[in-house]
Amino acid sequence: MAKADILGESLWDAYSNKVTTLMNNPQHQGEIFEADAQGRGNKLIVADFGAESCGDAVRLYWEIDPANDKIINSKFKSFGCGTAIASSDVMTELCIGKTVQEAVKITNIDVELALRDTPDVPAVPPQKMHCSVMAYDVIKKAAGLYLGVDSESFEEEIIVCECARVSLGTLKEVIKLNDLKSVEEITDYTKAGGFCKSCIKPGGHEAREWYLVDILSDTRKEMDEEKMKAAADASAAGGANFETMTLVQQIKAVDAVIDDSVRQFLIMDGGNMEIIDIKKNDGYIDIYIRYLGSCDGCSSSSTGTLYAIESTLKEKLSKNIRVLPI
């Protein structure tokens, strides 16, 4: 669990422990020399990519066995912030052992997820989310150099924001993973819409096929439908099914119940809540929550309100649930 989700003390606390460790102690930083790769009978690929959105740059080294196109070693040099170093290090780790054809499928979302301490807590603050986008592009650059094709030929995604090189799939995934509710939040997390602004809504200096306002609206509708389905599935299957769900399924089911039966009452009083984590503990399923707004610090948050939340979840999902405020 990221420190900021418990303490909320500073921007630094919004970084995962893995990110802060790799900032100062990257495992794959360095270079591979042509003579060494040739001496082992392998081919060396060196690809450079610079991100116009932030001025960072990365150089990626691949040592490839030409007999099977497998990346047997990989290094990087990063010219930028600590988050770019951490992202580049994980990107390099993900490449090793894959074929070039497999590596080209690695996305910036894969990199960011690999940097998380826990699956459902973002690894970096919103304004640093874009650092993993460089990995998405430099991998394709390296693959294009090795295979002798244009790196854009690997682009299967629709690019919504040309300035920051952000795809439709990335936008939808980031909205869902981080429960984004505004275009401003999308820009904070991805840099999409932060430059020429043509992709935000119709009326910019050039027409676009996709706009952030529509993507946000459509994705939020998908999220609401998924929550309703999760609640319906949980209700139909009974509480016992909740205990066999994956963590992501459990979080969606809890969110759906809270949205349906609890949240509106919290909001009426100027408050809210969010799920931080779910863990099994000695026969119980402990659901860690954080109160927001006026609920934070309210005397009822540890008595009546807490009892109402826990009772509702026990009734609709599992009798073994315990709700623990953080």
- Active site amino acids: 54, 131
Beta bridge partner(s), residue 29? 76
Contacts of 260 (CB under 8 A, 6+ apart): 231
User: Which runs of consecutive H residues, i.e. helices, occur in the chain?
Assistant: 17-24, 34-39, 82-95, 100-103, 108-114, 133-147, 168-178, 183-190, 212-237, 239-242, 247-261, 263-268, 304-316
Q: What is the dihedral of CA 185, 189, 190, 193, to 10 degrees?
A: 20
Nearest Cα neighbor of 106 from 128, 67, 74, 148 is 74
Contacts of 182 (CB under 8 A, 6+ apart): 216
* DSSP secondary structure of 222-283: HHHHHHHHHHHHHHHH-HHHHTTS-HHHHHHHHHHHHHHHTHHHHHHTTEEEEEEEEEEETT
Residue listed under structure tokens 């819409």: 193
Distance CA 222, CA 17 (A): 32
Give the count of alpha carbons within 13 A of 289, CB side only. 26
